[in-house]
Each structure stands twice: as C-alpha cells, then as structure tokens.
Amino acid sequence: MIHRIDHIAIAVEHLDSAIDTWVNLLGCDRSTVTIHEVPSEKVRAAFIPIGETKIELLEPLGDDGPIAKFLSKNGAGMHHIALATDGVDAEAKRVSALDITSLGEPSAGAGGKKIVFLHPRDTSRVLVEFVEPKGTL
C-alpha cells in the first residue's frame, strides 16, 4: 500500500549551492539536511525535510551515472517522485499486473532504504520510485 509521497527528487549540478537555495527557499535550518553517498547509483543525495516529505537533491559522482546522463540530456530539474510503502516487493508485483514495468530489481538506496524505480513510459513520462523506509534486501 502506498502511504504518502516520500520525496521529490531534483537533479543538480552542484549540491552545496543547491542546498543553500532550497534551505533559503523553504526557510529551514541547514542542520536539518542529511547527505548520503550512494555509490551504486553514482550519486550524492541531500534530503531536506518538509513535514513528512522531503526534497532530494541529486548530484552525480562522475560522468557516467544515471544523474550525470540525465543532466547532460535535460539539464537540472525534477528527476523523480518517490512514494513510500511498507512493501516495495509487493507494490512492484501489484503494478506489474497492471503492465507497469519496474526498472530492475529492488535495491539499496540512500540511507539503506529498499527502492525500485518504474519505467516512465508506463507512468505518463514520470520516473516513479517506490521506497520502503525500513526495507531489507
């Protein structure tokens, strides 16, 4: 079951300046920001909380990861929307029955969360991520 929007992700060229922009825009304290490196995705991610939701800022680690490719093709901007669930596997199976394709198998995301992405061709050209906050692989 989907519970809420976990985060909205934005691809950025420079994480530190993007953090400054968003912290100022949201009027929050920089101490609320958490930063994770996700080597498997070749990205550094900053999470800025807004109530129960977060803004995730994604900076590429190198030139060959998915965020680097996204930035090269599209420039900075919205990358994906993440939906919180208690069961990534069950949700991926449920939407598969609706002909919505997962992009790979569930894997570890930032902060050790269990994640899986859905193909944007099946979701109105929006990259959707399922996130299981306390998931285990």
Are 6 and 80 in contact, with CB atoms under 8 Å apart? no
Report, as ranges of residue numbers, the positions in the chain whose pLDDT lies below 70. 135-137
Question: What is the value of pTM for the model shown?
Answer: 0.89
How many Å separate Cα 131 from the centre of its chain? 8
* Residue 86 included in any domain: yes
Q: For residue 93, what pLDDT is reported?
A: 95
* Residue 96 included in any domain: yes
Are 118 and 129 in contact, with CB atoms under 8 Å apart? yes
Q: For tokens 């998915």, what's the residue?
A: 66
Q: For residue 38, what pLDDT is reported?
A: 87
* Residue 120 included in any domain: yes
CA distance readout (Å), 88 to 13, 96, 116, 122: 29, 12, 7, 18
Q: For residue 80, what pLDDT is reported?
A: 97
Q: What is the 3-state secondary structure (H, E, C) of 84-128?
A: EECCHHHHHHHHHCCCCCECCCCEECHHHCEEEEECHHHCCCCCE
10 pairs with which residues across the strands? Answer: 57, 78
Q: For tokens 């208690």, what's the residue?
A: 86
Domain total in the chain: 1
CATH of the domain at 114: 3.10.180.10
Q: For residue 112, what pLDDT is reported?
A: 84
Write out the residue range of the structural domain in which residue 116 sits.
2-132
How many Å separate Cα 15 from the centre of its chain? 15
Q: For residue 137, what pLDDT is reported?
A: 47
* Residue 137 included in any domain: no
Q: For residue 136, what pLDDT is reported?
A: 53
* Distance (Å, whole) CA 95 – CA 81: 16
Among residues 105, 101, 123, the alpha carbon closest in space to that of 114 is found at: 105
7 pairs with which residues across the strands? Answer: 54, 82
